Amino acid sequence: MAETFSEAKKIIAPAGVEVGANSLKIGAKLVKTFFVFSYPRYLGTGWFEPLINLPFLFDISIFVSPVDTGTALKNLRKKSAQIESQITDQQEKGLVRDPVLETALQDIENLRDTLQQAQEKLFSAGVYVAIYADTAEELAKLESRIVSLMEAQLVYIKPALFQQLEGFFTILPLAEDRISVATPMNSGPLSSFFPFVSENLTSDEGIMYGINRHNNSLVIFDRFSLENANQVVFAKAGSGKSYATKLEIVRSLMMGTDVLVIDPENEYGRLAEAFGGSVFNISLSSEEHINPFDIPIIPEGELPGDVLRSHIVNLAGLAKLMLGKLTAEEDALLDRAITETYASREIIAGQNFSDAKPPLLEDLETVLRNLEGGRGLSERLYKFTKGSFSGFLNQPTNVDISNRLIVFSIRDLEDELRPIAMYVILNFIWNLIRAKLKQRIMIIDEAWWMMKDEASAAFLFGLAKRARKYYLGVSTITQDVEDFLRSPYGRPIITNSSLQLLLKQSPATIDIVAKAFDLTEAEKNLLLSAEVGTGLFFAGRQHVAIQIIASYFEDHLITTNPKQLLEERGK
* One domain, residues 111 and 126: no
Final residue before a domain boundary, out of 79, 100, 120:
120
Report the phi/psi class of residue 139: left, alpha or beta, with left for phi > 0 and alpha for psi in -120 to 50. alpha
User: Is 206 a member of any domain?
Assistant: no
pLDDT band at residue 179 under the 50/70/90 scheme: very high
Final residue before a domain boundary, out of 195, 222, 257:
195
User: Is 544 a member of any domain?
Assistant: no
In the Cβ-directed half-sphere of 66, how many Cα atoms lie within 13 Å? 6
pLDDT tops 70 at residue 195: no
CA angle 420, 421, 426 (to 5 degrees): 100
* pLDDT tens string 263-312: 888 888 888 888 888 888 888 888 888 888 888 777 777 777 888 888 88
- Kindly report the number of other CB atoms within 10 A of residue 477's CB atom: 22
Q: What is the pLDDT of residue 501?
A: 92
* One domain, residues 36 and 93: no
The answer to whether 281 and 416 are in contact (CB under 8 A) is: no
Domain span at residue 96 reads: 68-120
Sign of CA dihedral 252, 256, 261, 266: positive
* One domain, residues 369 and 343: yes
Average pLDDT over residues 101-114: 77
DSSP 223: G
Which of these ranges, 108-122, 125-139, 188-202, 542-556, has the smallest mean pLDDT?
Answer: 188-202
HEC readout, 150-212: HHHCCCEEEECCCCHHHHHHHHCCCCCCCCCCCEEEEHHHHHCCCCCCCCCCECCCCEEEEEE
pLDDT tops 60 at residue 2: no
Residue 363 and residue 390: Cα distance in Å, rounded?
A: 13
Q: Are strands 218-221 and 231-234 parallel, antiparallel or unpaired?
A: unpaired
* pLDDT tens string 419-437: 888 888 888 888 888 888 8
* One domain, residues 72 and 59: no
Q: What is the pLDDT of residue 231?
A: 92
Residue 26 and residue 16: Cα distance in Å, rounded?
A: 6
pLDDT tops 60 at residue 91: yes
| Nearest residue to 189 (alpha-carbon basis) of 129, 128, 113, 122 | 122
* One domain, residues 80 and 131: no
Q: Residues 494, 499, 503, 509: what is their CA dihedral angle, to the nearest 10 degrees? A: 10
DSSP 539: E
> Residue 468: CB partners within 8 Å, gap ≥ 6?
227, 228, 229, 230
* pLDDT tens string 144-175: 989 998 888 889 999 999 999 999 999 998 88
Cβ-in-10-Å burial (0-12, 13-18, 19+) of 479 comes to buried
* One domain, residues 324 and 370: yes
* One domain, residues 172 and 95: no
User: Is 245 a member of any domain?
Assistant: no
HEC readout, 22-57: CCEEECCEEEEEEEEEECCCCCCCCCCHHHHCCCCC
| Nearest residue to 183 (alpha-carbon basis) of 105, 100, 122, 109 | 122
* One domain, residues 295 and 170: no
In the Cβ-directed half-sphere of 414, how many Cα atoms lie within 13 Å? 8
* One domain, residues 35 and 170: yes
* One domain, residues 83 and 188: no
* One domain, residues 176 and 50: yes
Final residue before a domain boundary, out of 370, 396, 422:
396
* pLDDT tens string 20-71: 899 999 888 899 999 999 988 777 766 777 777 676 788 999 999 988 888 8
Q: Could you tell me the CATH number of the domain that includes residue 353?
A: 1.10.8.730
Cα→Cα distances 290→48, 256, 302, 427, Å: 57, 27, 24, 10
Look over the chain and give the mean of its residue pLDDT values, rounded to a whole number: 83
User: Is 490 a member of any domain?
Assistant: no
Determine the longest span between alpha carbons in the chain, in angstroms.
110
Q: What is the pLDDT of residue 157?
A: 93
> Residue 135: CB partners within 8 Å, gap ≥ 6?
30
User: Is 336 a member of any domain?
Assistant: yes
* One domain, residues 191 and 298: no
- Cis previous bond, 419, omega within 30: no
The answer to whether 261 and 407 are in contact (CB under 8 A) is: yes
Q: What is the pLDDT of residue 5?
A: 58
The answer to whether 312 and 335 are in contact (CB under 8 A) is: yes
User: Is 78 a member of any domain?
Assistant: yes
Q: What is the pLDDT of residue 32?
A: 95
User: Is 559 a member of any domain?
Assistant: no
The total number of structural domains in the chain stands at 3
User: Is 85 a member of any domain?
Assistant: yes
In the Cβ-directed half-sphere of 338, how many Cα atoms lie within 13 Å? 23
